[in-house]
Amino acid sequence: METVTLTIKDQPGLYLEADNITPDAFAGKKAEEIADLHVYVGREQYRLGDFFEVSGKAGATAEETKIVVNGDLSRVKYIGMKMTGGEVVVNGNADMYVGAWMQGGKITVNGNVDSFAGTGMKGGEMVINGNAGNYLGAAYRGDWRGMAGGKITVTGNAGSDLGTFMTGGEIVVGGDVDVHVATHAEGGKIVIKGNAKRRLGGQMVEGEIYVFGNIDVMMPGFAYREDVDIDSDGIKGRFALYEGDLGERHRKRKGQPIYAKLYQRIAA
């Protein structure tokens, strides 16, 4: 695997739209060619090299390419957008759309990410060693398909609207989450190690949510069923199982409606 290192040298006046920072766009290119790839500030087009020092070279394919991005990237959008393979390591805080529509490969962010990370994600892995903003692994506006595959792990907290319209894949949040989790979800798995506020699983059709901490207000559409013991995949302990959202439409299997499941750990 070859490594390309990008170090931000100039902060953009407005925000940088850098959807070319992906192993796919870099593959097969030398440093100078990578520096020539386009980025946008508002309506104006610039070169990646206008804002970043570029060193190293890319592998022949996306899979063989690793990108390390250093510095304060809190004004850089779209890092790792639509990537299909390879690796991206971000050493700093990044702005919106990290790993949006990602299909494969791995992104590690050693810092916080702003909203819309993992929007419409289809595959691959994203690890955020920090906090995530709103709409993590959610659908893009107007799309009815949110995260469909892959895995997102956040060690810190996440914002609101986590996993909206999610259909598959997994999101694990180490800390707390804000309101609206898995709204309209039709599949997928969300694990919240900390506390949740309200509106978990509103309009949820299918899928699973696990909450280790407190839930401020439970949705009226979730009905308590039973206590269950779970020991799988890092989820261990006794959980109260709720099913819902009873108000929403549901598919039937053998005449029985299939509900989304919400598990809340029972304090030991």
Partner 1 sequence: MTKTVTDVICPFCGTLCDDLEVVVSDDGKELHEVYNACAIGAEKFLHSQAKDRITRPRMRQEDGTWKEISYDEAVEYTARMLADAKKPLMYGWSSTNCEAQSIGSEIGEAVGAVMDNTATVCHGTSLIAVQDIGIPSCTLGEVKNRADRILFWGCNPAHAHPRHMSRYSIFPRGFFTGKGHKGRKVIVVDPRPTDTASLADIHLQIEQGHDYELLDALRVAFKGEKLPDFVGGIPKEKIYEVAETLKSGRFAIIFFGMGVTQSIGKNHNIDEAIAVTRDLNEYTKAAIMPMRGHYNVTGSGQVWGWQFGFPFAVDLSRGFARYNPGETTSNDLLRRDEVDAVFVLGSDPGAHFPFSSVKKIYDRPSVAIDPHETPTTEVCKVHVPVAFVGVEVGGCAYRMDNVPIETRKVVEPPEGMMTDEEFLQRVLARVKEIKGV
Which residues lie near partner 1 (CB under 8 A)?
Answer: 13-15, 17, 40-44, 96, 115-116, 134-135, 140-142, 144, 179-180, 183-184, 198-199, 202-203, 217-221, 223, 245-248
Task: Provide the minimum distance between the beta carbon of 186 and partner 1 in the complex, in angstroms, as a whole number.
Answer: 13
Q: List 190's β-bridge partners, or say none.
A: 171, 209
> Could you give the angle at the alpha carbon of 77 between the alpha carbons of 89 and 107, nearest 5°?
25
> Cβ closer to partner 1: 240 or 246?
246
User: Of 162, 102, 156, whose CA–CA distance to 129 is shortest?
Assistant: 156
Q: By C-beta, is 193 or 199 nearer to partner 1?
A: 199
DSSP 8-state secondary structure symbol assigned to residue 138: -
Rounded distance between C-alpha atoms, residue 113 and residue 240, angstroms: 32
Q: How far apart are CB 170 and partner 1 at their closest, in Å?
A: 23
User: Long-range CB contacts (< 8 A, 24+ apart) of 69-73?
Assistant: 69/5, 69/6, 69/7, 69/8, 69/21, 69/94, 70/5, 70/6, 70/7, 70/8, 71/7, 71/8, 71/9, 72/8, 72/11, 73/8, 73/111
Cβ nearer to partner 1, comparing 106 with 184: 184
Output the smallest distance, CB 41 to partner 1, in A: 6
Give the N- to C-terminal CA distance of the chain in Å, as an integer.
47
- Please report how close the Cβ of residue 183 comes to partner 1 at its closest, in angstroms: 6
- What's the closest the beta carbon of residue 237 comes to partner 1, in angstroms? 25
Return the number of the residue (40 or 212) whose C-beta is nearest partner 1. 40
- Please say which residue, 124 or 221, places its beta carbon nearer to partner 1: 221
| Alpha-carbon span 161 to 195, nearest angstrom | 15
Give bridge partners of residue 4 from the DSSP assignment.
56, 67
Least distance between partner 1 and beta carbon 5 (Å): 27
* Residue whose CB is less far from partner 1, 116 or 212: 116
